[in-house]
Amino acid sequence: MTATVTAPRRRAVISKRAVLPWVFLAPGLLLALVFKFLPMGKGIWLSFFKVRPFLGDQWVGLDNYTRVLTDHRFQDAIGHTLLLGFGQSVGAIVVGFLLALLLEGQARSLKIMRTAVFLPVVTATAVVGEMWRLLYYPTSDGLINHGLSFLGLGPVQYLDNPGTALWATMVMSIWMIAPYNMVIILAGLAGVDRTLYEAAAMDGVSLWQRLRYVTLPAIRPALGIVLTLAAIRGLRVFTEVYVLTGGGPAGSTEVWMTRAYTLGFTRNDIGGASAASVVLLSVTLLLTVTVNYFRKRGDVR
Amino acid sequence: MGDRRRRRRLAAVATVTGLMCATAACGSGSDRAGAGDPNTLEVWTRSNPDSAATYDRVFAAFTKKTGIKVDYQPVVNFDQQLQSRASTKDLPDVMINDTALMGSYQSQGLLKPIDPASIAGGDQITAKSWSSTVGLDGRHYGIPYSRQAMTLMIRKDWLKKLGLQAPTTWQDMLTVAEAFAAKDPDGDGKADTYGMVVPGSAQNGYAAWWGASYLWQGGAKIIEPDGSGGYRPVMDSPAAVKTVTWMKDNLFCGAKNVVQPGALTAITANATNFQDGNAGMYLTGPYNITTFDATPGKNTYEVVPAPAGPAGSDVLADGENVYFGAKTGKTKQEQALAAFLVSPEGQRIAMTSVDGHQPVVRIPVNATLDAAEVRHDARWSVVQKAYEDSSQQFPNAPDFAPVKQDTADSLNAILTYCGSDVGSSLKELNDTLAGDLKDQDLLK
């Protein structure tokens, strides 16, 4: 509603030309306001309270934050979140890059392949999680263990072993995110000047040198976008873990958001869950700004 | 030119206005149809579409009888939705949900206290059932609606093939489980069968829900009243240590395939090995009977009392209560609905399955009804007997949710690491539980 009120008032002062863009932006802004910024503000507000809607919220200051930051299970979750966030981001960029190199081109077969490879991105995470639970099934009925049995190996308990569960989750995440990165990198590759490859070939460079000195510098902007996206979503990982392992076994895959979810919805501690979410938001914001800073600095250079 | 631009501008404004109106309509809650109507009750149950179909029949009969309309909302992620409704300070009028959540809701001020005498026919509910809805302040906060106790579902065709009897003690159960795992009871020549199904994930507290029966049978408790209005944690008792050690050594770290693979990350939704026909036993609630009658098939399995541990054969009892939302101003209508729900007629409709839909009342709380008789199914008398004679509920006067979650986290961790020191892990759990109780001012 704010947008409707401000628009006419401004019209009187500022020229119509200045108003028009805002009118066009209004629907998007309004949606963002109602569904993003207001809830976000409410979340930050609630993080300072012991939330009890029917008994009256109690102001507790920074109590929720100290509680969350000193809780040993949240501290364990930090390590898992960083490992998972970093691992899946790097893995997805590497795999996405390799996929892009393999599937670049105009042939019809490549188009079909690209579509097939992209499918995990448009599939609901919950569905992907259930599918991977079947793939990881810890007997020879599971597809992966079935494959291993031909080599005389396994069956491996991927998800029920606290030593492997986090890595198994990471592999699934990479499978899910890599095709998205592939598309961005493909767009970057399309802009690489072909003559550079020809020149490189004339100079007789190796494949590695061609990648290092021609391809990578040319797709730097694409990699920048991919890195920024990774920074934004790397740490907020939730659905993958929730569907695949539920944080177990023995808390070995518990990440920051699954912990916050348990706090909010199993233990009805909305204040604590809000505080945990605000902490994550701040860290993500910081990380994104840092990545962007280095990206811009690199661009100038 | 200018004319066209003006028209375009007009169109843009119209679009924006339209969008805003649409958003405003969504925000102001067209989903609250009938909220102001005193003759319409908004009722929530934690149900999937299958059991919602049964509730639909129940509420239709109620409306026909009393003229009070019901705006029925089956909600799967009940507690998440309830939290968001609570934040708008506008609760559903009547809620039907788990018994164990009563203390949690009451501590948040979400419930109206209930006088059992104000519910017509409330005297047909047993004292044992009524006693399970008493809150910390001594007042009732729920009306018993459906009860259940865990029983052991076991493949009788497998027992017969291996020449075994249904187990009556833990030791027997272990022997049977090992035989089911090792002696190829399905006769396909492959080692693809498992002794029993365990939903052992800590998610939503499943490990505690499943493990509770074993704790009771081993003579352990999670928390207990201290006699002066408070509670104390007792998970470091010798009985608890002994029981959890037994579970770890025999079920998870003993012979191969005693429990199904993946048990440590399994919740009930993906622990489907009994249906799939590759696990032989499942200690679980009777709501599964409808499912299991379809697969693996009614004549392949039987329902028997849980095998006894060193301290008896008590199992976890739970069920659903009817709760009245705080500050709804429709007390009379709510009481009428509750009276119908616990009446013989209301309970009967909810206990029968039409078109294969899941019944929503398992063991009737109305003492004039008999589960086996209403359903024409003798197996239900096993469940009813387990509930009446040898069952214990989670203490639900305190907010049990954190206690259950912490217990589940700890059990899941102990059962994961075969080398873990059960005694010190449970000591640690006990300290955590003490913290949970202290948060509620219950630890004296």
pLDDT at site B5: 57
Beta strands in B46-106 (DSSP E): 69-74, 94-98
pLDDT at site B355: 87
pLDDT at site B17: 52
Residue A137 to residue B15, Cβ atoms within 8 A: no
Report chain A residues whose CB lies below 8 A from the CB of B201: 245-246, 248-249
DSSP letters, B300-332, are GEEEEPPPBBTTB--EEEEEEEEEEBTT-S-HH
Residue A246 to residue B110, Cβ atoms within 8 A: no
The two structure tokens encoding residue B226: 């201290």
Residue A4 has its nearest CB partner, among B20, B204, B265, at B20
Q: Is A205 helix (H, G, I), strand (E, B) or coil?
A: coil
Write out B219-265 in H/E/C secondary structure: CCCCEEECCCCCEEECCCCHHHHHHHHHHHHHHHCCCCCCECCCHHH
- Domains contained in chain A, CATH given: 61-300 (1.10.3720.10)
pLDDT tens per residue across span A6-15: 445 544 556 7
Report chain B residues whose CB lies below 8 A from the CB of A139: 192, 261
Choose from A147-151, A206-210, B221-225 the range with maximum mean pLDDT: B221-225
Check residue B100 and report its DSSP letter: G
Return the percentage of chain B with pLDDT > 70, whole number: 92
Q: Chains A and B: how many Cβ contacts under 8 Å? A: 127
Reference A129, options A172, A165, A180; nearest CA is A172
Rounded Cα distance, A87 and A79, in Å? 12
Residue A54 to residue B108, Cβ atoms within 8 A: yes
Between the CA of residue A247 and those of A77, A89, A189, A237, what are the distances in Å?
9, 20, 38, 12
Angle at A96 between CA A92 and CA A99, to 5 degrees: 140
Kind plus residue range of the DSSP H or E element containing B194? strand B194-197
pLDDT at site A124: 92
Residue A21 backbone phi and psi in degrees, to 5: -55, -35
Burial A4-13 (b: 16+ CB within 10 A, else e): eeeeeeeeee
Most A CBs within 10 Å, among B7, B81, B102, B203, to test the A interface: B203
More confident residue, A160 or B407: B407
Residue A160 to residue B27, Cβ atoms within 8 A: no
Would you state the torsion angle of the CA atoms of residues A216, A219, A224, A226, taken in this order, to the nearest 10 degrees? -100
Up-side HSE of residue B158: CA atoms within 13 Å toward CB?
A: 30
Residue of A nearest to B262 (CA): A160
Residue of A nearest to B418 (CA): A161
Evaluated on CA atoms B87, B89, B90, B95, the torsion sign reads positive
Rounded Cα distance, B190 and B185, in Å? 10
Helices (H) and strands (E) in chain A, counts: 16, 2
- Kindly report the nearest CA distance between residue A26 and chain B, in angstroms: 7
Rounded Cα distance, A56 and A38, in Å? 21
Q: Which amino acid is at A144?
A: I
pLDDT at site A11: 47
Residue B86 has its nearest CB partner, among A53, A246, A251, at A53
Tell me the pLDDT band of A232, cut-offs 50, 70 and 90: confident
Residue A20 to residue B9, Cβ atoms within 8 A: yes
pLDDT tens per residue across span A121-143: 999 998 999 899 989 988 888 89
Asked if the model's pLDDT at residue A108 lies above 60, the reply is yes
Residue ranges, chain B, pLDDT below 50 = 1, 16, 19-34
Contact B352, B133 (CB under 8 A): no
pLDDT at site B4: 55
The pTM assigned to this predicted structure is 0.85
Rounded Cα distance, A127 and B98, in Å? 28
| Mean pLDDT, chain A, whole residue set | 88
pLDDT tens per residue across span B133-165: 999 999 999 999 999 999 999 999 999 999 999
Beta strands in chain A (DSSP E): 49-50, 58-59
Residue B412 to residue A250, Cβ atoms within 8 A: yes
Angle at B433 between CA B431 and CA B435, to 5 degrees: 75
Check residue B358 and report its DSSP letter: P
Average pLDDT over residues A235-250: 89
Residue of A nearest to B24 (CA): A1
Reference B431, options B233, B239, B245; nearest CA is B233
Rounded Cα distance, B408 and B437, in Å? 16
pLDDT tens per residue across span B299-356: 999 999 999 999 999 999 999 999 999 987 889 999 999 999 999 999 999 999 888 8
- A293: how many CB neighbours lie within 10 A of its CB? 10
Tell me the pLDDT band of A79, cut-offs 50, 70 and 90: very high
pLDDT at site B328: 79
Check residue B123 and report its DSSP letter: G
Average pLDDT over residues A22-51: 92
Residue B108 to residue A34, Cβ atoms within 8 A: no
pLDDT at site A13: 57
pLDDT at site A14: 65
Evaluated on CA atoms A18, A19, A21, A22, the torsion sign reads positive
